[in-house]
Structure formats: C-alpha cells, structure tokens
Chains A and B, each alone.
Chain A
Amino acid sequence: MNLIILIVILLAVAFLLRIDFIYFIVYICIGIYFISRWLVPYTIHHLQGSRKFNSHAFSGEAIDITMLWENKSRIPLPWLEINESIPPELRRDESTAWAIGLGSRQKRQLNYQVGTGRRGYYQIGPARLTSGDLFGLVRPSSGQLAPDYITVYPQIIPLVELGLPSRLPFGTIASYQRLFEDPARPAGVREYRSGDSQRQINWKASAHANQLFVRRYQPAISLETAILLDLNKDSYEKKDWRYHTEWAIVVAASLAVHLVNQRQPVGLISNGIDPLLRQEGEALVFDQESGRLLREGNETAAASGQIVPTLPPRSGRAHQMKLLETLARIESDSTIRLDQWAATACSPLSWGVTIMAITATGDEKTCQALHRLVRSGFNPILIAVEPDLQFGQTRERARQLGFRAYHVLRSANLDMWRQPQGSTT
C-alpha cells in the first residue's frame, strides 16, 4: 500500500510540474505490468506435465521416476518452481523440488528416485507448480500436476526359507474318478466299442491284430489353489497383531508368486480390508507418517463394504499382479472370524481345490472349520504364523481331521525359539 501511495505521489508531482515525459515512463511501467500479468498465467495454462515410472515395485527397491514437462505455447516461461510431494516412507535424502525455465515449445525431463520400504499403496505427488513474473509486480501463479500412485508389493520369500515343502500337492494329480482323460498320458489300448470316436482308433495295433483297437489314457484332474488369508485382528495376539498379520501377508504373497511361477491357477480369499474400495466420490486418505493408503472411517468393515473381494483361481502374470496388488494394499481389522466365514467364502470354489488357510494359530474352532472344508471336497492346508509352543498338538489334531498343518515363523521368531529352547519348531 505504501508503495502504491508513493507511485501516486510521484505521478501527481510529475503531472503538477508539467513533465510530459512522465507519460513515457508510465507506458513502460504499465507495459511491463500487463506483460507480467498476462504472460505467466498464459504459459502455465499451456504447460503439460506427466510422470513416467513403474507403478509397481517390490519392497526394498528403488523406483526411477521421470517427470516430463512441455511448454506448449510460443511464449517462454522464465521460471517454474516444481515441488513434488513424496510420502515419508518413500522419501530419500534428495530434494524433489526444482526450478526450471522452459523455452517456447521446449520439453524438459526431470529424474529422481524414490525408495520403497513397507508394502502399500502410495501417492506420488501432487506436484505443486509456482511461477511468477521477472519484476515481482504480480502475484505468483500456481498450478498442480495430479498425483499418481505406486503399489509396493509385499516381501517375497522363497518357499524353502519359509519352511514349507516345495512339493505341495498342486497341479495335475491322479484322480480316482474317471471324469477326464489326459491325452498326454497314454495307458494302452482296448477293443473298439460302438460309440468310440474314429480318431481314437489305433490303426497300427488294429492292423496288427486285424481287429479295431482304440487308445486309452490315464484319467486326471487339474487342481486349483486358493489362499485363505485370515486378517481378522481378533484372531491374533493383542500386542503383536500388526507384526503377525504382516507376516501372514508376506507368506500369502510368497505362496502366490511360487504357485503362479509353477503355472498353477491360484486365487485369494481374505477377510481383510482393501482401503482402495471406497464410496464413490470420496477422497483417498493417506497416513501422515508413512504416506500409505489408510482405511478411512470408523464403520465396521462389512458396513463400509471394504472387505477384499474374492479373486478366483487363475493363472498367468496378469493375475499374479492382481494378487500382489491386493496383498500390497490389504489391511487387517476386526472383521469376521475364520471359523464363521471359511465355509461361505469357499463355497463358490470348484471341487478339489487346495485351500491354503493362513491364520494365527490352529485352535479348535479353526481346525473344525478346516475339517468341514475337507468334508466339502476341498483339500485344506493349515499354515499358522504365530509362535505356538503346542503346535505339535495342532499338527496331530489336523492329521486326525484329514488335513496337514505347517508352522511358518519369521526368522526372528525362530531365533528367539532356538536360543532359549535349543530346538527348532
């Protein structure tokens, strides 16, 4: 305001003293003001930005992100300040703010790296843009580049390190029921019967025996696998539930990757929460401390409809990505107990599917639930992730009920077990 008063006084004095030349100065100042006023918003409006990066990464990797900026207008942009927001969990010790100039139609590439720590769904950006004139006469203009998202997959551990046998029963196994025959497994010949296809005739054998013979094949059925991941936090120990549920997710992800790499169909059923599923129109809420996507609201999981939908067993890379993306985002909460939910959740699955139930412990109710799955024609396997001194009993109980049980602990837990007890579980 003081400056404006000074300017007014200056002009008044100049007019008063009949200094006509002051008009020239006034033109210059007004010209610069209006150029400043018009130039920057115009060029910011014609600015195009985008990010190029791999939107998925494994925990512990570095992600290279490239921001591409293009000034689409014919007017150069003298300076542009770009401040990229990076979630705390992904931040590295380098600045993600730049000040660049963009000439007319110029493109510019800015590279930086983020690190990945914990699994999750993170927001990169938005990138806040600020630009102003060269004389400080107008307020700076601002803009924004919309955020993008990065999925950090959970840690993947080889099955051997998990303590699980590498030959779990997946894939094609011999079936007792002669529902399907595998043409890749010939099993001799038999006499031709009316109704047999001519294509099945073994002409060499027929010529030799002067009688028609058809080929026989071994019956087989291809088994699918479903991972039943229990993330109801009430199933876990109160003080360590975060730690153990994270471990459960790591085990589930490792199994999923192993199975898909073996070209086996695998699915995922869980009572955990997917924070990305939200009511339409609601904004995503990210944790202030780490930057991970949070589950929002205080409603029960069922009411908010955020329980992870079932991913039916499929094979292929694309499906594997879907599984890992879901496991990257999934969170535990007080939802529904496994024994109350397992039967319903597994009912859409085909007969004979192997169900890998990952949960805290193999308590009585859990074992009964898995036994019901056995009787429904499934092939359940219990994988317990919490330390349990009585796991031997659980294993025996499971054997009696018709399924197998494994105890998969974190190496830290194993060390803790080894030191005082002097024996492994």
Chain B
Amino acid sequence: MVAMSSIQEFATQIINNVEQVIIGKREALQMLIVTLLCEGHVLLEDAPGTGKTMLARSLAASLGINFKRLQCTPDLLPNDVTGVSVFNMQTQSFNFIPGPAFSNILLADEINRATPRTQSALLEAMGEGQVTVDGVTRVLERPFFVMATQNPIEYEGTFPLPEAQLDRFFMKLSLGYLDPQSEGQMLLNLGREHPIEKLQAVVDGHQIPELARQVWEVHVDDTVRDYIVRIVFATRDNKDLILGASPRGSHALYRGSQAYAALNGRDYILPDDVKLLVPAVLQHRCLLHPESALRGTTVSKILDTILDEVPLDIGEF
C-alpha cells in the first residue's frame, strides 16, 4: 500500500501540473499515465489543433525528461527516426548521429503520413526498446514513451497504420474538442506568455521503470482475471469482428487495470477498472468486418454490448 500511495502521489502531481496547460482532459491524462506506468505507447487519433503536441510537451516538462517531436511526411526515411551513420571524411570513419528515437518522450505527429517502411522502423523501436543501425544495436534509454498521432479516416491520409501494427500501441485515445466552459478557461489562461513556458518538473521521470515494477504488485483477484479473459474471448467470438483482441490485448488490459488501480491509491483491481479501460485498450486491436462497418456497426458499439453482456461473478451465499 505504501508503494501505491507513492504511485498515486506521482500521478496526482503530474496531472495537477499538466492541468495548468491542458484543461478539461483529466481522464485522458490519467490514461496517459497508466500507459507510462505500463511502459507502453499511445496512439492519439484526433483532428488538428486539439492539443496533442502541447500535451506531450507538458508531460515531458512535468516529468523532467527530454522530449522530441517528429513530423511524419511521405518522404521521411527510416534513418530519420532511428539515426544515421554519417561518414566523416577527415577521420575516415562513420559517426553515429542518433535520431529522435533516442529521447524519453517522442511525439510522432501524423504517423499515417509516413511510408510503411518508416512506420515499421518506429514500431520496431517501440516494441523492442532498441534500434539497429548499420548492424549495430543500440538500446534506447528508459523511459521511452511514444505518442503517435493519426488523423481520423475522414481526413486525407496516405498510409494509415495497418490493423496488425496498431496492436503494438498500448492504448488508442482521442482527446476531442473541449466543452465550452473549458475552452473559455483555456483562453483565459493564455496571457502574454504561454503557460507551457512556466511549467517546471514536479517529479523525476526516471523513476518510471521502478514504479512500473511496483505496479506488478497490485493484487488481481481470480474472478477479475477470468473477467478480463472472458471479455477478450467475447471479442474473438463476435460475428461482426474479423479479428478480436490478441493475447497482447489481454495483457494490456491486465496491466492497465493494475496501473489504474495504483493510480487511484489501491493495491487491488476492481472490475470497474477493467470496464473503464476496455475501450482505450481493446478498440484499436479489433478489426471490424467491412460489411458490418457498412451497416453502421462500430467497434465501440460492439465493446459496449460485450461489456453489457459478459457476466461478472461477485460470489453468492
């Protein structure tokens, strides 16, 4: 319990600090911190101008770790992500210049505009925590947290991430627009100086690997574990889905629930934690049948139905 309170305090400090810049997105912030504590990566699908970059910067500033932004374009090469060995003619040797992957928080903006080759390079770094350039493997510093953004389907996109690759993201979130009150407050907060300039680090981001290890200590009751498995299996049995959630999905749901419980100062998971995380963790891992999509069904609706139907065993006398 001592460890959980420290995680709770860690999260609260970050959230309170970031909320000086990003208003009205507390739930999204909590999800981001859950992803951080699980050492995963997040995909943000949003319209332009909703504060994705500002969020990443505020988070990095609050954690006191370095932040890089990568604007993905169709001509972006894999080396532009991982780094390149440049030949020094004077010394007649190659010097490695690390790419943006060598940062603690990387914002990969509009990842769907990069070519599949470039996308793969980044996804590989995310998955393995290391990059190989010219035969040399270099381990990325921890924490390594990628926030990739993608335009929604209505907007023009050249290379949307294949569904199989989406599975590598721990969560998929959408910030959305602010409510009128929050938007008004945001305008009030903007003065001559943007609030982000004044933001200071409130925690040490390098603690994250240790905190992630502590999250494993959150107790998971057998019935909750069964519940997670049943939910995931329900996605695999659903007739409207070509592809249900993978074992990686159940693992993400499990870990995410633990992290969320810890974030709330608890050392045990509640079924409510699982239900809360299902949309963010499983939605992008399920592939909808094209005909079902044409009938107006969405993965979100299917998940809602699954959550309404999968029974939860609370015991009886």
Contact = CB atoms under 8 A, between A and B. Distances in A.
Contact of A210 (B77, B79, B80, B89): B89
Given A57-B295, A203-B86, 14 more contacts: A54-B296, A56-B295, A58-B294, A58-B295, A153-B294, A184-B115, A199-B77, A203-B84, A203-B85, A203-B94, A207-B94, A314-B156, A317-B153, A321-B294
Interface in A28-73: 54-58
Contacts of B86: 203
A120 to B, nearest CB: 15
Interface string A267-282: 0000000000000000
Contacts, number: 49
Task: Bin the interface of chain A by size.
Answer: 20 to 34
Contacts of B79: 199
Contact of B75 (A183, A261, A321, A324): A183
A203 to B, nearest CB: 5
A188 interface: no
Interface in B39-91: 74-75, 77, 79-80, 84-87, 89
Interface in B137-176: 153-154, 156
Contacts of A153: 294
B290 interface: yes
17 contacts: A54-B295, A57-B295, A153-B294, A183-B75, A183-B77, A199-B77, A203-B84, A203-B87, A207-B87, A207-B94, A210-B89, A317-B153, A317-B290, A317-B294, A318-B153, A319-B154, A321-B293
A206 interface: yes
Contacts of A210: 89
A58 B94 contact: no
B115 A320 contact: no
Interface in A296-322: 314, 316-321
A320 B116 contact: no
Given A58-B291, A203-B84, A317-B290, A183 B115 contact: yes
A366 B86 CA distance: 60
A261 B77 contact: no
A209 to B, nearest CB: 11
Contacts of A56: 294-296
Task: Bin the interface of chain B by size.
Answer: 20 to 34
A313 B219 CA distance: 52
B297 interface: yes
A206 B294 contact: no
Contacts of B291: 58
Interface in B286-301: 290-291, 293-297
B91 to A, nearest CB: 12
Nearest to A265: B156
B115 A261 contact: no
A314 B297 CA distance: 21
A56 B294 CA distance: 7
Nearest to B117: A184
Lowest 7 CB-CB distances: which A-B pairs, in order? A207-B87, A54-B295, A316-B153, A56-B295, A56-B296, A317-B293, A203-B87
Contacts of B156: 314
Contacts of A57: 295
A206 to B, nearest CB: 6
B293 to A, nearest CB: 5
A321 B87 CA distance: 52
B174 to A, nearest CB: 15
Nearest to B86: A203
Contacts of A55: 295-296
A55 B297 CA distance: 9
A206 B87 contact: yes
Contacts of B296: 54-56, 321
A287 B293 CA distance: 28
A300 B117 CA distance: 54
Nearest to B80: A199
B148 to A, nearest CB: 19
A324 B290 CA distance: 13
B116 A184 contact: yes
A405 B85 CA distance: 54
B94 to A, nearest CB: 7
Contacts of B115: 183-184
A216 to B, nearest CB: 13
Interface in B248-307: 290-291, 293-297
Contacts of A317: 153, 290, 293-294
Given A184-B117, A203-B94, A320 B294 contact: yes
A268 to B, nearest CB: 15
A319 B156 CA distance: 11
A28 to B, nearest CB: 47
A210 B89 CA distance: 8
A237 B87 CA distance: 73
A58 B292 CA distance: 10
Interface in B19-37: none
Interface in A200-216: 203, 206-207, 210
Contacts of A318: 153-154
A183 B291 CA distance: 34
A206 B89 CA distance: 10
A89 B87 CA distance: 74
Contacts of A199: 77, 79-80
A158 to B, nearest CB: 13
Interface string B101-116: 0000000000000011
A271 B85 CA distance: 58
A184 B89 CA distance: 29
Q: Which of B94, B291, B295 gathers the greatest number of chain A CB atoms within 10 Å?
A: B295
